[in-house]
Structure 1
C-alpha cells in the first residue's frame, strides 16, 4: 500500500499525527486490516482549512506521487482530539474517492 493521510488543519496545533503515523508504521488501529501488506507513506497533509477546500487538490497530488490509498485522519471523521468531527467530511470523502478512481482505497479513519 502506498498511503496518503489527510488531516484536519484545525487540530494541527494539538496533534503531531503520532497515532496516525504509528498506526501505519506498526499496522495497528485501522491499519491492522493490512497487516500482510507493507505500508509506504507517500505524504501527510492537512485539508487546507474549512470547508476542506484543498482536499481534492491534495488528494490528487498524493495520487500523482503514487498513493493508492488515502486515509482521512480520525480528527476529520471522529473528531479526535477536539471532540468535533468535521461537518464537511461527506464532501471530503466524495472528493477523495474521485481522485482515487475505481482501484484506489479510502480509509475513513486512522485510529480510535
Structure 2
C-alpha cells in the first residue's frame, strides 16, 4: 500500500499525527487487515474549511505514487478534540469523484 493521508488543518496546531503513524506501524485501526507493506507517500492537510483544496492535495498524493488515500480520524471522527469536520462527507465525495478513474482505495479514518 502506498498511502497518502489527508488530515484536518484545524487540528494540526496541536496534533502532530503521532497516533496515525503508530496505528500504521502497529497495524491497528484502519490498517488492521492490511497485510502488504505500507509506504507513506505523504501526510498533508485538507487546506482548511470548506475543504475545497483537498481535491488538489489528494491529486498530488496520487501523482506522487499513492494508491490509497486515508482521511485521518480528525476529519471523520473528530479525534482528538471530539469535533468531526462538518465538510467530511462532501470532501470525501469530491475527492472520490475527482479520482474515480485512478483506481484509488479510500479509508474513512486512521484510528
Normalising to structure 1: TM-score of the pair? 0.92
| Post-superposition offset of 1:27 | 1.3
Equivalent residue number for residue 16 of structure 2: 16
Number of residue pairs matched by the alignment: 110
Structure 1 residue ranges without an equivalent (≥5): none
Secondary structure, counterpart of 1:98 in structure 2: helix
Equivalent residue number for residue 27 of structure 1: 27
| Post-superposition offset of 1:26 | 2.3
Secondary structure, counterpart of 1:110 in structure 2: coil
C-alpha offsets along residues 26-71 of structure 1, whole Å, 9 cap, x if unaligned?
A: 211111110x111000000000111112100000000001101000
Secondary structure, counterpart of 1:4 in structure 2: strand
Structure 2 residue ranges without an equivalent (≥5): none
C-alpha offsets along residues 60-99 of structure 1, whole Å, 9 cap, x if unaligned?
A: 0000011010000000000011111001011111122124
Normalising to structure 2: TM-score of the pair? 0.93
Give RMSD over aligned pairs.
Answer: 1.1
2:57 corresponds to 1:51: no
- 1:30 & 1:100 partners in 2: Cα distance? 21
